[in-house]
């Protein structure tokens, strides 16, 4: 079942093997989305912005 991009309302289908908290791109507007739920009722939300302490 697809979910909806919170930015452009496009339908977003999670690729097979998608994990919780993975970052994907909306196929329509390319917004980075964080996966909040997988399975029968997938959910996405805008991905968090990069912060100063992010990295390796």
Residues that bind other proteins (CB under 8 A): 17, 19-23, 34-35, 47-48, 51-56
Quick one: which of 40, 45, 4, 7 has its CA closest to 23?
A: 45
In the complex, what is the shortest distance from the CB of residue 9 to other proteins, in angstroms, rounded to a whole number?
23
Strand partners, 12: 3
In this structure, what token pair is assigned to residue 24?
A: 């994907």
Closer residue to other proteins, CB minimum distance, 41 or 52: 52
Our CB check for other proteins shows the closer of 1 and 21 to be 21
Q: Which is nearer to other proteins, 39 or 55 (CB)?
A: 55
8-state DSSP, 48 = P
């Amino acid at each position: 079942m697809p979910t909806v991009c919170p930015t452009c309302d496009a339908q977003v289908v999670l690729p097979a093997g998608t994990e919780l908290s993975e970052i994907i791109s909306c196929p329509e507007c390319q917004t980075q989305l964080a996966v909040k739920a997988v399975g029968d009722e997938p959910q996405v939300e805008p991905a968090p912005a990069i912060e100063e302490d992010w990295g390796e």
